[in-house]
Amino acid sequence: MAWLNQIAHTAWTTLFDVLPIAVILVGFQVLVLRQRPRNLRRIATGFGYAILGLALFLVGLEQALFPLGKIMAAQLTADALEAASGLAAADAVDWRRFGWVYAFAAAVGFATTVAEPALIAVSLKAEEVSGQALKARGLRVAVAIGVAFGVALGTFRIVTGTPLPIYIMAGYLVVIVQTWLAPRAIVPLAYDSGGVTTSTVTVPLVTALGLGLASAIPGRSPLIDGFGLIAFASLFPMITVMGYAQIGAWRGRREARRRFDDPGDLKEE
């Protein structure tokens, strides 16, 4: 019964969050476009499904996964700190003692990104638009690897206390170089995937990890060091998605060259 209550409550808040969107859509539809979209009933049902689905999803996360994830993050940082206890000075924190923390950050980053609803939406659209040339699942895994690497590097930065802008700027340099080299069609999608990764699932868990880590380690300020993990999580997917397309293009070229060098192979087909 408590669950039903919470589902109803979350559905209500989600509905309230969606209200501005609905007002804008209906307002423009009625006042400016002055036409009813075809299948209005179907579209409205779909909207209802999406909102209800999101509400169920959020309740499930809050009931089950968020508390567990936060407890695990706290235990892992505590374990690592225990090993480093007795040291008060900031520079005495040995980053090598936090191996499981980085592994956990990467694993959480990967796993939550694969289940991120906004990313599912964009990758479905990309698969449809590219005529199945891009696979939705491949794209999501590429993004998830980027988030995993980004979040792990982000926790390393918090442990070592090195300045955030250096990492971000270096990452952007890689993005700029890749933009020149990657297939042109992937670039807008890669840029988009940075913003998409960080919504419902990833942000709360990753932020909790960052703030917990920054407040547990002596010499780190949650305000200055705790933030910034989201920035890592949105930067690295751009690199991995462009990389994914580059690898695909490279394999295509190699395949073409092999066939060219070996005409016997061509005849067989």
Partner 1 sequence: MLSDLASFGRLVLATLRDLAPIILVVAFFQFVVLQQPIPQFERILGGLFLVMLGLALFVRGLEMGLFPLGEAMAGAFAEKGSLFWLLGFAFALGFGTTVAEPALIAVAGEAARAAAEAGHLADGAAALEGYADGLRYTVALSVGAALVLGTLRILKGWPIQYFIIGGYLLVVVMTPLAPKEIVGVAYDSGGVTTSTVTVPLVTALGVGLATVIRGRNPLVDGFGLIAFASLTPIIFVLAYGMVV
Site for partner 1 in 151-190 (CB under 8 A): 164-165, 168-169, 172, 175-176, 179, 184-185, 187-189
Binds partner 1 by CB under 8 A, chosen from 29, 160, 215, 246 = 29
What residues contact 210, with CB distance under 8 A and at least 6 apart? 154, 155, 158, 225, 226, 227, 228, 229
User: What string marks each residue from 73 to 92 as x (binds partner 1 by CB under 8 A) or -?
Assistant: --xx--x-------------
Among 5, 30, 39, 252, interactor with partner 1 by CB under 8 A = 39
For residue 142, give the amino acid letter.
Answer: A
Question: How far apart (Å, rounded) are the C-alpha atoms in residues 73 and 109?
Answer: 12
Checking 119-128 for CB contacts under 8 A at 24+ apart, the result is 119/143, 119/193, 119/196, 119/197, 122/189, 122/192, 122/193, 122/196, 126/189
How many residues of this chain interact with partner 1, rule: CB under 8 A? 104
Closer residue to partner 1 in complex, CB, 92/165: 165
Burial class (CB in 10 A: 0-12, 13-18, 19+), 46: exposed
Min CB(266)–partner 1 separation in Å: 29
Binding range to partner 1, per CB under 8 A, among 36-44, 87-95, 251-259, 260-268: 36-44
Compute the least distance from the CB of residue 35 to partner 1, in Å.
6
Q: How far is the CB of 21 from partner 1 (least distance, A)?
A: 5
150 lies in the binding site for partner 1 (CB under 8 A): no
Q: Of 194-233, which residues contact partner 1 (CB under 8 A)?
A: 194-200, 203, 223-231, 233
Q: Which amino acid is at 140?
A: R
CA atoms of 19 and 25, how far apart (whole Å): 10
Structure tokens belonging to residue 158? 């918090």
From the list 12, 28, 250, 260, which residue makes contact with partner 1 (rule: CB under 8 A)?
28
Tally the residues of the chain. Answer: 269
Q: Which residues contact 174 (CB under 8 A, 6 or more apart)?
A: 239
| Chain centroid offset of residue 264 CA | 45
Supply 227's token pair: 């933030």
Cβ proximity to partner 1, 188 vs 264, nearer residue: 188
User: In this complex, which beta carbon is closest to partner 1, that of residue 61 or of residue 142?
Assistant: 61
Of residues 70, 84, 97, 115, which one binds partner 1 by CB under 8 A? 115
Nearest-approach distance from CB 73 to partner 1, in angstroms: 10
Of positions 56, 84, 216, 249, contacts partner 1 by CB under 8 A: 56
Q: Minimum CB separation from partner 1 for residue 251, in Å?
A: 19
- Regarding 252 and contact with partner 1 (CB under 8 A), the answer is no
Note whether 25 binds partner 1 by CB under 8 A.
yes
> Are the beta carbons of 233 and 197 closer than 8 angstroms?
yes
Question: Which two three-digit tokens encode residue 114?
Answer: 């694969």
Work out how close the CB of 57 gets to partner 1 at its nearest, in angstroms, rounded to a whole number: 3
